[in-house]
Amino acid sequence: MKNTIYIILYLILFISCSKKNKNDFEINSSYLTDLNDNQIDLDSYHGNVLFLNLWATWCKPCIVEFEDIMNSKELFEKDSIKFVAISNENINTIKSFVQKNKYDIEFLKLEGDYSYFDAYGLPTTIIFDKSGKEIFRTSGMKKNQFTSKSFIRKIKKLL
């Protein structure tokens, strides 16, 4: 009887701790809007590799990372890759940041917290293939991670 209880507890723990699979852009589109308050559906990115960066204006590593993201975007300028930055901050805070910094990527607002993307730290970047399947993710800022040879190789395999 005691072993049966341990097995049941183990299975409950295993199932509850297993990674939620949110590939295929499974986030509810009602949680995402552009800076004009239009709902955005991540399915609209199908057919493109999606570079999705979760960030915040108060996050210093997030801000530093934008230079590397812009350099990466330039490397893939002629490829079918979309660069999107998502913050859950107040829309006016995001707009102010965008107007001040003029980064050439799409900025979206998330209604809710980053757990919709199974992200619990910032910055977090998630790469989806052309069908919307999550291929890999990275959390935390690493110098030149999006222009590194290994990152470029991973992306080129998806194009």
pTM tops 0.85? no
* Residues 101/87, Cβ–Cβ less than 8 Å: no
3-state SS, residue 101 = helix
Residue 98 sits at the vertex; the CA angle it makes with 28 and 84, to the nearest 5 degrees, is: 40
How far is it, in rounded angstroms, from Cα 116 to Cα 72?
A: 25
Instruction: Give domain limits for the chain.
Output: 27-158
The class of domain 27-158 in CATH terms is alpha beta
Collect all residues with Cβ–Cβ distance below 8 Å to 32 and sequence separation of at least 6: 39, 40, 41, 42, 86, 108, 109, 110, 111
The pLDDT tens digits of the residues spanning 18-62 come to 444 444 555 555 689 999 999 999 889 999 999 999 999 999 999
Helix (H) / strand (E) containing 49: strand 49-54
Spatial distance between the Cα atoms of 16 and 20, rounded to a whole number of angstroms: 9
Cα gap 32→34, rounded to integer Å: 7
119-144 residue pLDDT tens: 999 999 999 999 999 999 999 999 99
Instruction: Judge contact between 129 and 49, C-beta under 8 A.
Output: yes
Place of tokens 């809710």: 112
